[in-house]
Amino acid sequence: DMRVPIACGLAWPGRMASGAQALDFSRMANMTFEVPDHARFPCLKLAWEVLSAPLGTAAVMNAANEVAVAAFLENRIRFDQIHTVNRRTLDKLGVSGIHTMDDLLALDVQARSVSNAVLQQLGV
């Protein structure tokens, strides 16, 4: 139920009533979880890969995703192309030697540049 997080976002830093009922786990008989369908949700698979990748890879993913989502919100790419931008950026940008905040900030700038180049390759 997205009413709670939406209400939190709208009222931040205050609180407002969302109209949602409190979640009572004792009344829930069963919960089932399924293996995610990575073909339908490729960004989820990519996120799991990033978790076990070298230090700094998550920063590259974050920067690529911010560039891709901005392009989507501007109607420059389709929703399904967000994954393409993220994947190609990660593939093109090797991550190594992250020791300082300056290294991380430089990597962020580089990742955004690569992501924008990927957008150009997509004809955007």
N-terminal to C-terminal alpha carbon distance within the chain: 35
CA proximity to 87, closest of 43, 123, 55, 39: 43
What the chain holds in terms of domains, given with CATH numbers, is 36-121 (1.10.1740.10)
122 token code pair: 């997509």
Mean pLDDT per block of 10 residues along the chain (124 residues) reads 83 87 82 91 94 93 97 96 97 88 95 98 91
Q: What is the per-residue pLDDT for 2?
A: 78
Q: What's the pTM value of the predicted model, to 2 decimals?
A: 0.74
* Token couple for 7: 């209400």
- pLDDT value at residue 53: 92
pLDDT of residue 28: 81
